Amino acid sequence: MSSLSDTVLSVIYKRKSVRSFKNGRKEIPKETLEAIIKTAFAAPSAMNLQPWHFIVITNHSILNTLGDALPYAKMLYKASAAVIVCADTKVSEFAWELDCSAASQNILLSVEAFGLGAVWTALYPHEERALFVKNLFHLPENITPLNVIPIGYPDGTEQPKDKYIAQKVHVNAWQSV
């Protein structure tokens, strides 16, 4: 394998859900956040509609407000930043969840490549969580938030997991497991 493919595979295999960040909320350079968001735009989307919008949050007060309201996003209290992945449902009514999920995965992988940590915290399909974010940011009716991705400097407690299960791979036919 080439060194590029080794690097790409390494980032994919090392990606983990980071829920614990170092104290201090060390700032993530603006250029790094921009590069992370640019990778989201590289994701595939149905008919290349690219229904996504991204809210990048670096303000600690807003991060804390989100942490107060979202039951599974308490790591926002120590996160340096967060990205809220949203969809314009007027642009894509039928595949926005898939498209924005692909963009979210690109964000998670690029965060790992930068030596940072992140975790996907769901807003959609939880109406109360999505509505809170819609109201907080005064989102138009056609903009639906999919998730909040807290980003920070990992404290090192989370480790990647080997999730490969050979029995779930079926070559040329379905095989009972």
- What tokens does 70 get? 């979202």
Number of domains in the chain: 1
CB atoms within 10 A of CB 112: 21
| Residue span of the structural domain in which 43 resides | 34-153
Token pair 């120590």 is found at 78
Alpha helices (H) in the chain, listed in sequence order? 3-14, 30-41, 60-69, 96-113, 127-136
What pLDDT is recorded for position 79?
97
The confidence band for 2, taking pLDDT boundaries of 50, 70 and 90, is confident
pLDDT in tens, 17-49: 999 999 778 999 999 999 999 999 999 999 999
The confidence band for 156, taking pLDDT boundaries of 50, 70 and 90, is confident
Is 98:168 a contact under the CB 8 Å cutoff?
Answer: no
Query: Is residue 72, in this structure, part of any structural domain at all?
Result: yes
**Mean local confidence (pLDDT), 62-76:** 97
CATH number of the domain within which 48 lies: 3.40.109.10
Conformational region of residue 87, where left means phi above 0, alpha means psi within -120 to 50, and beta covers everything else: beta
- What tokens does 120 get? 């996907």
Query: Is residue 165, in this structure, part of any structural domain at all?
Result: no
φ/ψ of residue 70, rounded to 5: -105, 115
Query: Is residue 5, in this structure, part of any structural domain at all?
Result: no
- The answer to whether residue 174 scores a pLDDT higher than 90 is no
Q: What global pTM score does this model have?
A: 0.94
Query: Is residue 23, in this structure, part of any structural domain at all?
Result: no
Query: Is residue 40, in this structure, part of any structural domain at all?
Result: yes
**Mean local confidence (pLDDT), 160-171:** 92
pLDDT in tens, 73-103: 999 999 999 999 999 999 999 999 999 999 9
- The answer to whether residue 137 scores a pLDDT higher than 90 is yes
Residue 45 to residue 101: CA distance in whole angstroms: 10
- The answer to whether residue 177 scores a pLDDT higher than 70 is no
Query: What percentage of the chain carries pLDDT values higher than 90?
Result: 88
Query: Is residue 67, in this structure, part of any structural domain at all?
Result: yes
φ/ψ of residue 48, rounded to 5: 55, 35
Query: Is residue 42, in this structure, part of any structural domain at all?
Result: yes
Residue 177 to residue 169: CA distance in whole angstroms: 10
Cβ burial 138-170 (10 Å sphere, 16+ → b, else e): ebeeebbbbbbbbbbbbeeeeeeeeeeeeeeee
Token pair 């308490």 is found at 74
Query: Is residue 11, in this structure, part of any structural domain at all?
Result: no
